[in-house]
Structure 1
């Protein structure tokens, strides 16, 4: 990585500031869902003392059930709480833990076709806050423009399945406020993934909480050899069945959300244009 040391170290200090023991990527659902797990392989992170990645299996067996459970069920499940306390104690011995659960807050359909955006947010983030009462947690939220995100959701629908008219215009700024309300002691980092080729490496560096040149170089080489996360490129900027006025409303909402998020306390917003070129891929 060719870069001016002052610029590189300055940015690394920014994305790894206020370090937490537990860094959790929680969505939006469908944005870079497998990225963190794909880099936790030999040649990149498999070495003693390096950042650890929480496996899907451990999350499924120890965390998911309790986080997703209804309040009454969670309160009486003493066995689940004991298991998760043991798991956290074991993880904390090794320092920073990175985890990625892109659908933790729900599915992509919960962004446009429910009464509110990702309606499980309050309960699930609140449960995580209860679980990690004595452990610093940073939430990493990956976002994309509402129109581009809707287009990606529609494009992933099974062939022949009808496209229902969206019921709401989601606000990511409102979502961030709900996360902050449910977990007021936690730091939130919001990543603008409108141009993934500019932010993906920086996102991984921050999630893994590393300034190690060898790890960063290994991540950079790995990312160069895998397909880049898609960025919607539409010649007519349209979706069949959606009016142009509603599309314009989605675009306006994203700009408004970014402006609001940038002013929030204890929330860091990472924009593509703020990431130095040496971290682009």
Structure 2
């Protein structure tokens, strides 16, 4: 038997990362590559979502998978690289808004995904950004008021979520991407997700730009205009502490948007 297929699976919001991955999968650059397979949203919903969402309720080591799921996973073995991207896999955005950054079933679902893909070389890719941008962005998407003072115990931390996912999936690589400056990290993120390091960077850059045609990188500034300055500073400080702490977590790789090569910046066409 040859090497096990690599699975790069992106978990967690923001939706921007997932939208870019699925858009790139439809481009000529990747569509004709028989070695790559991107799990379509409909495939995830049909074959994987129910089992992953069952979390700790279902022990995969004690239960036989449905034939359709076993067949689907066996078919994925035919590819060298499999890409998955589900921004809501850890929990519905409404759950995130209610529970901070750690939805009630996030850890159980991460563990279930790792069990389900145990026969693959699995890398988990977690995208994070400044908590204030993240939560206000979700709030705008779902038209639910975001009140920072709801977090009476302090600004929620990404570090706790990273620790818990790492503990739930100890045998798999966890890669954390700092999306505070998406234009700095989207190109390296795409290269890593699709495991393509010998490709036309300009062509990939153009494909990413097209996928971003109608998307905003950050929430409307109006959502934070009335927020006290000290609260904004608290969110900024907590995010910086998280980045510093995540860098020290064993078996976890952090890509910071402020430390990636300048030639990896997304290059947008000049507007005339």
Give the TM-score taking structure 1 as reference length.
0.81
Deviation at 1:133, TM superposition (A): 2.0
Q: Which runs of 5+ in 2 are unaligned?
A: 267-272
Please state if 1:181 is matched with 2:170.
no
Instruction: Show the counterpart of 1:27.
Output: 12
1:42-92 CA distance string (max 9 Å, x none): 422122434221111211111001111254456686353x43332222112
Asked if 1 retains the 8 angstrom alpha-carbon contact of 2:55 and 2:112, the reply is no
Cα RMSD (Å): 2.6
Deviation at 1:239, TM superposition (A): 5.1
Asked if 2 retains the 8 angstrom alpha-carbon contact of 1:21 and 1:95, the reply is yes
Asked if 2 retains the 8 angstrom alpha-carbon contact of 1:189 and 1:269, the reply is yes
CA distance in 1, matches of 2:145, 2:199: 48
Deviation at 1:280, TM superposition (A): 0.7
Q: Which runs of 5+ in 1 are unaligned?
A: 1-18
- Which of 230, 240, 264 aligns to 2:249? It is 264
Matched position secondary structure for 1:44:
helix
Asked if 1 retains the 8 angstrom alpha-carbon contact of 2:18 and 2:86, the reply is yes
Asked if 2 retains the 8 angstrom alpha-carbon contact of 1:21 and 1:92, the reply is no
Instruction: Show the counterpart of 2:150.
Output: 166
1:18-40 CA distance string (max 9 Å, x none): x9711000013534331111111
Instruction: Show the counterpart of 2:224.
Output: 238
Q: 1:187 to 1:20 in 2, by over 3 A?
A: farther
Matched position secondary structure for 2:253:
strand
CA distance in 2, matches of 1:203, 1:186: 18
Q: 1:56 to 1:259 in 2, by over 3 A?
A: same
Matches within 5 A, 1:69-80: 69=54, 71-72=56-57, 78-80=64-66
1:79-127 CA distance string (max 9 Å, x none): 53x4333222211211110110010001233334227722211210111
Asked if 2 retains the 8 angstrom alpha-carbon contact of 1:137 and 1:186, the reply is yes
Q: 1:48 to 1:250 in 2, by over 3 A?
A: closer
- Which of 46, 50, 64 aligns to 2:31? It is 46
Please state if 1:106 is matched with 2:91.
yes
Q: 1:86 to 1:23 in 2, by over 3 A?
A: same
Instruction: Show the counterpart of 1:206.
Output: 192
Asked if 2 retains the 8 angstrom alpha-carbon contact of 1:196 and 1:229, the reply is no
Q: 1:166 to 1:217 in 2, by over 3 A?
A: same
Number of aligned residue pairs: 257
- Which of 150, 153, 173 aligns to 2:135? It is 150
Give the TM-score taking structure 2 as reference length.
0.84
Q: 1:154 to 1:210 in 2, by over 3 A?
A: same
Greater CA deviation, 100-109 or 253-262? 100-109
CA distance in 2, matches of 1:115, 1:147: 11
Matched position secondary structure for 2:123:
strand
Q: 1:140 to 1:52 in 2, by over 3 A?
A: same
